[in-house]
Chains A and B, each alone.
Chain A
Amino acid sequence: MPVTLAYHIYPCGDHAVTIELGDKVDAVINQKIIALFAYLKKQQIKGVKDIIPAYHTVTIVYDVVLLKKQAADITVYEMICEHIEKAIDSFATEPPTTARLMRIPVCYDLLLAPDIKSLAALHEISIDDVIRLHTGKTYRVYMIGFLPGFAYMGTVDDKINTPRKPQPRTSVPAGSVGIAGAQTGIYPFDSPGGWQLIGQTPVQLFSVTKEEPCYLQPGDDIAFYSIPITEFEKLKQL
């Protein structure tokens, strides 16, 4: 990790501020984002309500009323920016965090993969190629958004990079594994959605009763492996 970070800060409304690094989807940038997120979280800055990492940004949501008491001559926005700049200065010397590797079983059976056939045909490859390419890489969880626990992972091999469906489905079953452009993701809930569905995992991505309700976190490394439908059914029962 370099000693300094080139970043720019801008307001995200009157009660949030965004720190942006670079201008592209990039694993190295995202690694810095996740590390910065973890570092800022550890600082426990007073009046900060949420810290939200995304691909190349970290957004900090803060309590204007609470912080105004400390910001006599300046705006709360200016004060929080000063906090962040100081934090980034001391952060630059922190060692990088290490990711955890999560292995996720996926059943690519046609019964659970309504778009795998058309996706293979579009790219003029076989369904087995799609499975081989999708399981052949380790993906990074760039961010969580859209739904609670929905992990945006990337990047998929160019040979299976496929745009979203022109018409989103009104209902995608929970556990569905999809592709949208260079991204791959898993629906934690039954939800409307436009991703190309190529399989389903029996793993529960979100559990309301757990203290850590989400199975995946930003910065995780993910490897998919293929399971037959019999095993899918068995694991689903657990």
Chain B
Amino acid sequence: MSLRIRKSGILDTVQDGGRYGYQHLGINPGGAMDLLAMKIGNALVGNDAGEPVLEMHFPVAEIVFETRVLIALSGADFSATVNGDPVPILHPIIIQQGSVLQFGKNTTGARIYLAVAGGYTTSEWLSSSSTHKQVKAGGFEGRALQKNDILFLKKIKTNQVLSMDKPFVVFPWGAKVSDLYVDNPFRFIPGAEYFCLTETSKQQLKSGVFTIDQQSDRMGYRLRGEGIALESCQELISSAVTKGTIQLLPDGQLIILMADHQTTGGYPRVGHVISADFASLAQLRAGETFSLQKTDIPTAENLLIEQQRNLQQLQNACNFRLEEYLKSYQ
């Protein structure tokens, strides 16, 4: 009941919904960058939405399945293959014992998620399995997966994974996610220092094009664009920041705080990317461009509720189809 890493990837970690309740101790929440993908992947294999998944970046590890298991890939598309044959994202797939999962190229998106039916055996730290690399805790030994690591799977209650003689079987149905993700522009609500921006900078924020810099990671996306300036520039006292906070750095460039952000910050908060658009933003890669569009809290809340409703429908549909599938084999 395990997966083995045959070749290391650049950054493959165990993540869940995040470690909340400890930010007053400087412990950042972490968690999957694209929470939608985590939930979709789990839905496709019949798991609870918050079951820990593998979050993987390109180039990705090569994974040997040492047991037959039901899996799903979600989020980015890295041209996955099983024993050399292409397999799609967003479909449940039964993988035969001994089969090898590989990834060919970074087709779309920044991070792909691997969910397995029943879930992985992970270590929890402060009620979360998200990997905290600084503290070296949570997930798989608190670190990214490396060559020869063996990731054990939890025992599955029902015999969900039926025997077969092929290296893999892709289910004919999958998840439609077009109404969950958004395209450019991403929406933001103004931050506390938005009103200190010069008129030109406010315009630049709303209509400018921003490029994601190479120096971007799970902590933050550094942006490159025309410089942004404040009308008056008094030094701020540090206070808490959140996922999606857009800070103005002293050089006039912006940084958007991502899942592994620091808990506090002292740079001007010009805006905050709304929760409903965060997963889509988290799938942008270095070098890609986007724009920002100003919105307000009522709109942001409604968009998130609507997204949650669509996700719930998708989860229900997956449950229904998985049950149907199991029945058909009984």
Contacts and interface: CB of A to CB of B under 8 A. Distances in A.
Contact of A57 (B240, B273, B300): B240
Contacts of B242: 12-13, 15-16, 59, 61
Nearest to B234: A23
A59 B192 CA distance: 13
B11 to A, nearest CB: 19
A20 B269 CA distance: 15
B172 interface: no
B274 to A, nearest CB: 5
A20 B193 CA distance: 14
B24 A57 contact: no
A189 B269 CA distance: 27
Contacts of A13: 189, 191, 242-245, 272-275
Interface string B263-307: 111000100111100000000000000000000011011001100
B262 A65 contact: no
A68 interface: yes
B240 A59 contact: yes
A75 interface: yes
A56 B237 contact: yes
Interface in A19-71: 20, 23-25, 37, 49-57, 59, 61, 64-65, 68
A12 B132 CA distance: 24
B83 interface: no
A208 B239 contact: no
A148 interface: yes
A152 interface: yes
A52 B189 CA distance: 21
Contact of B263 (A18, A52, A64, A213): A52
Given A13-B245, A75-B297, A143-B264, A18 B24 contact: no
